[in-house]
Amino acid sequence: MNSEFRIQNSESQTLAFVALGGNLGDAQATVRDAIERLATLACSPVRSSSLWRSTPVDCPAGSPDFINAVVAFAPLPRFTPETLLVELQTFEREFGRVPKKVINEARPLDLDLLTWGGEVRNTPTLTLPHPRAHLRRFVLQPLSELAPDLVLPRQTRTVTELLTDLPLGEVLERVR
């Protein structure tokens, strides 16, 4: 496993991986701003993947392309997975996201908690690891830049191996 991105870092702090995406407004600027904002929740430097442009997956017809990234950081000690999720949802609203009217509709910012260390949770408000992370190229490609050898909880294969086996239907292009 990549020594910089173990599930637990060298100081036994839990490492969280968060996926970012958006497809309304200036999505590149929004995702970059959100990455900076996530640093306020971290007690370690926030590591970020490149930004990736992806075609919409399971979205209404005519949806614009998304800008996606993944970040990794050790959350401040005051956070639990549930309280970090609440903070991520607060950030989404502050960046202009409104409650869903249509499933997977266009949005300025979407933040998904992918993993919290090796935690496995299945509650009404939080599922860890994210239930579809291992199936989405727009998650796995940026995640592979940060942690190619990471094995997500409930999986037996590395991020790189999962990415290699995905169908080629989803189109991604690095934008920075």
Please identify every residue annotated as catalytic.
Answer: 97, 107, 110, 112
Burial code of 68-98, b = ≥16 C-beta within 10 A, e = fewer?
A: bbbbbbbbeeebebeebbebbeebbeebebe
Three-state DSSP class for residue 113: strand
How far is CA 81 from each of CA 65, 103, 133, 136, 175, rounded to the nearest angstrom? 29, 24, 16, 22, 30
**Tokens representing 53?**
């442009």
